[in-house]
Structure 1
Amino acid sequence: MADTVSFPVVDQAINTLKKVNEYINAGMDTTIDVAQDLVENDKVTEVSSKKVMDLRNIMLDFTRMDRDLQQFRAAVELVKRQCKKGAVEDMEELLDEKLAEIQAENTDEELKQDEKYTDFEQKIRDILHPEEGLPSQAQPTQVDDDIAVMQEVNTKCPYTGKEMTHPVRNIHCGHHYEKEGITQLMKNRKGRAKCPVGGCVNDKPITASDLEDDKELKRYIERKNRQATKRQKHAAIMV
Structure 2
Amino acid sequence: MYQSLSAVHSTVSSLKECQTDLATGMDIVTSVALDLIEDQDGRGNSGIGEMEDLMLECAKLDREIDCFVDTVQRVTAEVTAQQQDALSSISSRVKENFTETICCLSDADLQTHQKIIAFKESIQSSSAHNQVTQESRNMEELDEDLAITQTQVNFTCPLTQEDMINPVKNKKCNHHYEEKPIKILIGTRRQQKKKCRCPVVGCGNKDVQESDLVPDHTLKRQITDQKRKNISK
From the superposition, tell whether residues 17 and 119 of structure 1 become closer, same or farther in structure 2 (CA, over 3 Å): same
Q: Which of 15, 22, 36 is residue 17 of structure 1 equivalent to?
A: 15
Q: Per-residue displacement from partner, 1:149-200 (whole Å, max 9, x unpaired)?
A: 97535332345321243466997xx98765726829x87xx88x999878x6
Match of 2:136 in 1: 142
Q: Is the 8 A contact 2:157 2:163 kept in 1?
A: yes
Q: Which of 205, 208, 212 is residue 211 of structure 1 equivalent to?
A: 208
Deviation at 1:74, TM superposition (A): 0.7
Q: Which has the higher contact order (CA 8 A, sep 6+)?
A: 2
Structure 2: distance between partners of 1:124 and 1:106: 26
Structure 1: distance between partners of 2:111 and 2:176: 29
From the superposition, tell whether residues 226 and 128 of structure 1 become closer, same or farther in structure 2 (CA, over 3 Å): farther
Deviation at 1:61, TM superposition (A): 1.2
Structure 1 counterpart of 2:185, one-letter code: T
Alignment of 1:92-171 (within 5 A): 92-130=91-129, 142-143=136-137, 152=151, 154-164=154-164, 165-166=167-168
Structure 2 counterpart of 1:8, one-letter code: S
Query: Within the alignment, does 1:8 sit opposite 2:6 as a pair?
Result: yes
Structure 2: distance between partners of 1:111 and 1:126: 21
Give the 3-state SS of the residue equivalent to 2:155 in structure 1.
coil
Match of 2:141 in 1: none
Structure 2 counterpart of 1:96, one-letter code: K
Deviation at 1:212, TM superposition (A): 5.1
Normalising by structure 2, we get a TM-score of 0.67
Structure 2: distance between partners of 1:220 and 1:94: 45
Report the number of matched residues: 208
Structure 2: distance between partners of 1:106 and 1:114: 13
From the superposition, tell whether residues 112 and 7 of structure 1 become closer, same or farther in structure 2 (CA, over 3 Å): same
Structure 1 spans left out of the alignment, 5+ residues: 133-139
Structure 2: distance between partners of 1:34 and 1:201: 34
Structure 2: distance between partners of 1:32 and 1:169: 18
Q: Is the 8 A contact 2:158 2:177 kept in 1?
A: yes
Q: Is the 8 A contact 1:14 1:73 kept in 2?
A: yes
Structure 2: distance between partners of 1:116 and 1:103: 20
Query: Within the alignment, does 1:221 sit opposite 2:219 as a pair?
Result: yes
Alignment of 1:38-77 (within 5 A): 38-44=36-42, 49-77=45-73
Structure 2: distance between partners of 1:31 and 1:56: 9
Match of 1:136 in 2: none
From the superposition, tell whether residues 5 and 96 of structure 1 become closer, same or farther in structure 2 (CA, over 3 Å): farther
CA RMSD of aligned residues (A): 4.3
Structure 2 spans left out of the alignment, 5+ residues: 139-143
Q: Is the 8 A contact 1:28 1:62 kept in 2?
A: yes
Structure 1 counterpart of 2:137, one-letter code: V
Deviation at 1:232, TM superposition (A): 6.9
Higher helix fraction: Structure 1 or Structure 2? Answer: 2
